[in-house]
Amino acid sequence: MAPTPKRRRSPIGLAFIAPFGTLFALVFVVPILYAAYLSLFQDKLVGGNTFVGFANYVKLVQDPQFLDGAGRVVWFTVVQVPIMLFFAMALALALDSMRLHGARFLRVTIFLPYAVPAIVSTLMWGFLLGVKYGLFGSLNRALGTDLDPFAPGTTLISIGVMVTWAFTGFNMLIFYAALKAVPRELYEAAAIDGAGEFQIVRRIKLPALRGSLVVTIIFSIIGTFQMFNEPQILPSMVANSGVTTFYTPNLYAYNLAFTGSQQGYAAALALVMAAITIAVAYAVQIRGLRNADR
Amino acid sequence: MFYNESTLKKAGIDEPPATWEAYYEAAKKIHALGDDYYIAQDTGDIFFLLSLIWQAGGRPFKVDGTKVRIDFTDPGTTKAVAFWQKLLDEGLINTKITGWSDDWNRALNDGTLATQTMGGWLTSTLPERAPKSSGDFRVALMPQWQQGAKTGAANGGSSFGIPAAAEHKEAAFTFLEYFAHGGGLSTRVDAGAFVPNLSVLDNEEFQGKANPYFGGQKVGAVLAEASEIVGDGWQYPPFFEWARSIYGDLASPLYTTGKGSLAEVLEQWRQRCIQYGNEQGFEVS
Is the pLDDT score of A291 beyond 70?
no
Residue among A127, A239, A259 minimizing CB distance to B97? A239
Taking alpha carbons only, the member of A253, A272, A76, A87 closest to residue A159 is A76
CATH code assigned at A73: 1.10.3720.10
Residue among A44, A239, A244 minimizing CB distance to B43? A239
How far apart are alpha carbons B204 and B92 in whole angstroms?
A: 39
For residue B222, which amino acid is it? V
How far apart are alpha carbons B174 and B172 in whole angstroms?
A: 5
Check residue A6 and give its pLDDT. 64
Residue among B255, B280, B281 minimizing CB distance to A240? B255
Residues of A in contact with B98 (CB under 8 A): 235-240
Check residue B80 and give its pLDDT. 97
Check residue A5 and give its pLDDT. 62
Check residue B202 and give its pLDDT. 86
State the pTM of this model.
0.87
How far apart are alpha carbons A78 and A125 in whole angstroms?
A: 22
Interchain proximity A133–B101, CB inside 8 Å: no
Residues of B in contact with A131 (CB under 8 A): 96
Average pLDDT, stretch A258-276?
Answer: 94
Does a structural domain hold residue A201? yes
Q: Count CA atoms closer than 13 A to A132's CA, side-chain side.
A: 22
For residue A23, which amino acid is it? L
Question: Is B44 in contact with B74 (CB distance < 8 Å)?
Answer: no
Does a structural domain hold residue A14? no
Taking alpha carbons only, the member of A77, A66, A19, A25 closest to residue A271 is A66
| Structural domain span for residue A78 | 45-293
Q: Strands A48-51 and B67-70, how do they pair?
A: unpaired
Does a structural domain hold residue A249? yes
| A240 in contact with B, Cβ within 8 Å | yes
The minimum CA-CA distance between A222 and chain B, rounded to whole Å, is: 26
Check residue A4 and give its pLDDT. 63
| A137 in contact with B, Cβ within 8 Å | no
User: B249-259: per-residue pLDDT in tens?
Assistant: 999 999 998 89
Question: What's chain A's average pLDDT?
Answer: 90
Taking alpha carbons only, the member of A122, A123, A103 closest to residue A111 is A103
Average pLDDT, stretch A171-180?
Answer: 95
Is the pLDDT score of A239 beyond 90?
no
User: A103-119: per-residue pLDDT in tens?
Assistant: 889 999 999 999 999 89
Higher pLDDT, A188 or A6: A188
Residues of B in contact with A261 (CB under 8 A): 242, 280
When divided into structural domains, chain A yields a total of: 1
Does a structural domain hold residue A9? no
Check residue A97 and give its pLDDT. 87
Check residue A2 and give its pLDDT. 59
User: A22-67: per-residue pLDDT in tens?
Assistant: 999 999 999 999 999 999 999 998 888 999 999 999 999 999 999 9
**Lowest mean pLDDT: which of A3-7, A214-218, A247-251, B227-231?**
A3-7
Interchain proximity A133–B96, CB inside 8 Å: no
Average pLDDT, stretch A149-173?
Answer: 94
Residue environment code for A242-253, b if the CB has 16+ CB neighbours within 10 A, otherwise e: bbbbbbbbbbbb
Give span(s): CATH 3.40.190.10, chain B.
2-156+212-284
Does a structural domain hold residue A157? yes
Residue B195 Rama label (left phi>0; alpha psi -120 to 50; beta): beta
How far apart are alpha carbons B155 and B177 in whole angstroms?
A: 23
User: A56-96: per-residue pLDDT in tens?
Assistant: 999 999 999 999 999 999 999 999 999 999 999 999 999 99
Check residue B192 and give its pLDDT. 76
Check residue B214 and give its pLDDT. 96
Q: How confident is the model at residue A271 (pLDDT cuts 50, 70, 90)?
A: very high
Check residue B213 and give its pLDDT. 96
| A239 in contact with B, Cβ within 8 Å | yes
Residues of B in contact with A133 (CB under 8 A): 102-103, 106
The minimum CA-CA distance between A249 and chain B, rounded to whole Å, is: 15
Which stretches of chain B score pLDDT less than 50?
Answer: none
Is the pLDDT score of A226 beyond 90?
yes
Give the CATH H-level superfamily of domain B2-156+212-284: Periplasmic binding protein-like II (3.40.190.10)
